[in-house]
C-alpha cells in the first residue's frame, strides 16, 4: 500500500502547520516544559535536511540522537537509533561516551534518559512542549493521596506500585521509594509477574497511570479476572472506592489513558474486518480492553514492527497505534496491505511537536556550543526513580 493509499484510507493528509504553533505559552498543570524559546528556522526552508546533516556531521560522536517510533519521518531519518520506550531507555543508558543525547520523543522519555545517563551527559528534548497527556493524568500529589487512602484502608502493606514509563519522574520516584518498578508496553507482563512473584510477593498492584495497559496485561496475560481490577479515580475521595474494595483488589488501576489509542473502538475492528477480508488486526496494549480482545495480536511498537516486517508479501494488517508509525510501515512494505485501524487521522500531537525545524535548531545550537532545552531531573527524585528504572531494566 502506498502513502497515498494510506492517506485515503485514513481520510486526510499530514497534520496542519497549526500543530507547529501549539506548545507556546505556559501550562503549569503539565509534567512537560512549555516553551521553545529559540529562533526556529522556517519550516519552509528548503535547506533544512542539509542543515541537519551538516550539524550532525560536525558534532560527530559527541551527539547521539534517539527517535521513538511515533516520530515524523523527517526527524526519524536523523536518529542514530529508533525504538520503543524500553529500547530507547536501554540505548540511552548504553551510550556513556555521547556528551549530548538528543531525544526525539516526549518529555517523560527524556527525563528517564537523564536519570539513566551520567551527570556529564546532557539530555535534550528539541521541543520542551512535547509532553504526554497520559503522563499528565497522574500528578505526584494525587499519587501520594492515593497511597494515604491505601494506608487508611489497611491496604498499603502488600501493595506494589508498578508505573508505566509514560509518567513523570516524580511518579517514578514514588514508585522507587515504595520498592516498585517501572514497566513499558513490552515488559508489563514481566513487571506484574515480578510484583506478584517470589521477589516481591505483592498481594495487589497499584498500576499507574494507564488503566488499559494494566487491565489488558493482568487479565489477558496473567489470567486475572476483570473483577480482580478496580479503577482508582484521582478526582474522587478515596478514588471513589471503599476500603474493602481497595483491600480486595488484585489490580488497582489508575484512571488514566492515552487519548490517541483511546480512539480505537470495537466498531473499528469490526469495520476493518468487513472491509479487508483476512486482515490481521494488531493493537497496542494502550488500547481499550474491548479492542485488544477483538484483535488478533497485541504488542508494543517494536513488536508491531517486527510482525509486519516478517510477514510474507501479500499479508494484510490493520494496525491500532499512532499514525506516523503506521504510515512508515505502509511505505516500507508496498507488497503488503498496512491499514490504519481507525477511519480518521490519529497522530499523537505532542510526539509531532518534534519536527525538522526544532531538530535543526537543537543541533545547530550545539555546534555553536550552546546547549538548549536540556531536561534535568531533581537529584532526590532521580535517585528513587533510578531505582525503579533499574529494577525494570533487570527484570528477567
Shortest spacing between CB 258 and ligand 13P, in angstroms = 6
Residues 250-289 vs ligand 13P: string with x where CB under 6 A? --------x---------------------------x---
Shortest spacing between CB 349 and ligand SF4, in angstroms = 8
d(CA 264, CA 287): 7
Q: Does 300 bind ligand 13P (CB under 6 A)?
A: yes
Closest to ligand SF4 by CB, 351 or 372: 351
Shortest spacing between CB 133 and ligand SF4, in angstroms = 5
Which region, judged by CB under 6 A, interacts with ligand 13P, from 182-190, 221-229, 363-371, 375-383?
182-190
Q: Does 114 bind ligand 13P (CB under 6 A)?
A: no
Q: Which does 194 bind (CB under 5 to 8 A by kind): ligand 13P, ligand SF4, none?
A: none
The residues binding ligand SF4 (CB under 6 A) are 70, 106, 132-134, 166, 258-260, 322, 348, 350-351
Closest to ligand SF4 by CB, 167 or 365: 167
Instruction: Tell me phi and psi for residue 68, to 5 degrees.
Output: -75, 150
b/e code 348-358 from CB counts within 10 Å (16+ = b): bebbbbbbbbb
Closest to ligand 13P by CB, 248 or 390: 390
Q: Does 301 bind ligand 13P (CB under 6 A)?
A: yes
The site for ligand 13P, by CB under 6 A, has a size of 12
Q: Does 166 bind ligand 13P (CB under 6 A)?
A: yes
Which region, judged by CB under 6 A, interacts with ligand 13P, from 79-87, 151-159, 265-273, 288-296?
79-87
Q: For the chain, what is the HEC assignment?
A: CCHHHHHHHHCCCCCCCHHHHCCCCCCCCCCCCCCCCCCCCCCCCCCHHHHHHHHHHHHHHHEEEEEECCCCHHHHCCCCEEECHHHHHHHHHCCCCCCEEEEECCHHHHHHHHHHCCCCCEEECCCCCCCCCCHHHCCHHHHHHHHHHHHHCCCCCCEEEEEECCCCHHHHHHHHHCCCEEECCCCHHHHHHHHHCCCCCCCEEEEECCHHHHHHHHHHHCCCCHHHEEEECCCCHHHHCCHHHHHHCCEEEECCCCCCHHHCCHHHHHHHHHHCCCCEEEECCCCCHHHHHHCCEECCHHHHHHHHHHCCCCCEEEEECCHHHHHHHHHHCCCCEEEECCCCCCCCCCHHHCCHHHHHHHHHHHHCCCCCCECCCCHHHHHHHHHHHHHHHCCC
Q: Does 324 bind ligand 13P (CB under 6 A)?
A: no
| CA 22, 24, 26, 31 torsion-angle sign | positive
Q: Which residue has the cell 503539565?
A: 30
Nearest to 372 by CA among 169, 131, 132, 122: 122
Q: How many CB atoms lie within 10 A of CB 119?
A: 9
Closest to ligand 13P by CB, 41 or 320: 320
Which region, judged by CB under 6 A, interacts with ligand 13P, from 6-14, 184-192, 337-345, 357-365?
184-192
Q: Does 238 bind ligand 13P (CB under 6 A)?
A: no
Q: Does 85 bind ligand 13P (CB under 6 A)?
A: yes
Q: How many CB atoms lie within 10 A of CB 248?
A: 15
Q: Which does 259 bind (CB under 5 to 8 A by kind): ligand 13P, ligand SF4, none?
A: ligand SF4
Q: Which does 133 bind (CB under 5 to 8 A by kind): ligand SF4, ligand 13P, none?
A: ligand SF4
Shortest spacing between CB 371 and ligand 13P, in angstroms = 25
Shortest spacing between CB 307 and ligand SF4, in angstroms = 19
Q: Does 181 bind ligand 13P (CB under 6 A)?
A: no
Closest to ligand SF4 by CB, 155 or 283: 283
Contact pick of 30, 139, 167, 184 for ligand 13P (by CB under 6 A): 184
Q: Nearest to ligand 13P by Cβ — which residue?
A: 84
Contact pick of 6, 10, 40, 84 for ligand 13P (by CB under 6 A): 84
Q: Does 352 bind ligand 13P (CB under 6 A)?
A: no
Binding residues (CB under 6 A) for ligand 13P: these are 69, 84-86, 166, 184-186, 258, 286, 300-301
Amino acid at each position: 500500500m502506498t502513502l497515498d493509499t494510506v492517506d485515503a484510507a485514513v481520510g486526510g493528509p499530514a497534520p496542519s502547520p497549526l500543530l507547529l504553533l501549539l506548545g507556546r505559552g505556559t501550562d503549569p498543570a503539565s509534567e512537560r516544559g512549555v516553551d521553545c524559546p529559540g529562533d526556529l528556522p522556517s519550516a519552509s526552508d528548503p535547506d533544512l535536511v542539509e542543515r541537519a546533516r551538516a550539524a550532525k556531521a560536525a558534532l560527530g560522536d559527541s551527539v547521539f540522537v534517539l527517535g521513538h517510533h511515533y516520530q515524523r519521518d523527517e526527524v526519524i531519518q536523523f536518529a542514530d537509533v529508533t525504538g520503543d520506550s524500553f529500547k530507547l531507555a536501554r540505548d540511552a543508558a548504553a551510550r556513556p561516551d555521547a556528551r549530548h543525547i538528543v531525544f526525539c520523543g516526549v518529555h517523560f522519555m527524556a527525563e528517564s534518559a537523564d536519570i539513566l545517563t551520567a551527570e556529564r551527559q546532557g539530555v535534550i528534548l528539541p521541543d520542551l512542549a512535547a509532553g504526554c497527556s497520559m503522563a499528565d493524568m497522574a500528578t505526584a500529589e494525587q499519587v501520594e493521596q492515593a497511597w494515604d487512602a491505601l494506608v487508611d484502608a489497611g491496604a498499603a502493606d502488600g501493595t506494589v506500585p508498578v508505573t508505566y514509563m509514560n509518567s513523570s519522574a516524580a511518579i517514578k520516584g514514588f514508585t522507587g521509594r515504595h520498592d516498585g518498578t517501572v514497566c513499558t508496553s513490552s515488559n508489563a507482563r514481566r513487571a506484574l509477574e515480578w510484583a506478584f512473584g517470589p521477589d516481591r510477593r505483592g498481594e495487589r498492584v497499584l498500576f499507574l497511570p494507564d488503566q488499559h495497559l494494566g487491565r489488558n496485561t493482568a487479565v489477558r496475560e496473567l489470567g486475572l479476572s476483570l473483577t480482580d481490577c478496580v479503577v482508582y479515580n484521582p478526582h474522587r475521595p478515596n478514588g471513589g472506592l471503599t476500603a474493602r474494595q481497595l483491600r480486595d483488589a488484585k489490580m488497582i488501576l489508575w484512571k488514566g489513558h492515552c487519548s490517541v489509542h483511546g480512539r480505537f473502538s470495537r466498531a473499528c475492528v469490526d469495520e476493518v474486518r468487513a472491509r479487508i477480508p483476512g486482515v490481521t488486526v494488531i493493537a497496542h496494549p494502550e488500547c481499550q480492553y474491548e479492542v485488544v480482545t477483538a484483535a488478533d495480536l497485541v504488542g508494543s511498537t517494536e513488536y508491531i514492527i517486527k510482525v509486519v516486517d516478517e510477514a510474507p508479501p501479500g499479508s494484510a494488517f490493520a494496525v491500532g497505534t499512532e499514525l506516523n508509525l503506521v504510515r512508515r510501515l505502509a511505505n516500507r512494505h508496498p507488497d503488503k496491505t498496512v491499514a490504519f485501524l481507525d477511519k480518521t487521522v490519529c497522530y499523537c500531537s505532542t510526539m509531532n511537536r518534534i519536527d525538522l525545524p526544532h531538530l535543526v535548531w537543537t543541533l545547530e545550537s550545539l555546534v555553536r556550543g550552546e546547549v538548549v532545552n536540556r531536561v534535568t531531573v531533581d537529584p532526590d527524585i532521580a535517585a528513587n526513580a533510578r531505582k525503579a528504572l533499574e529494577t525494570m531494566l533487570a527484570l528477567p
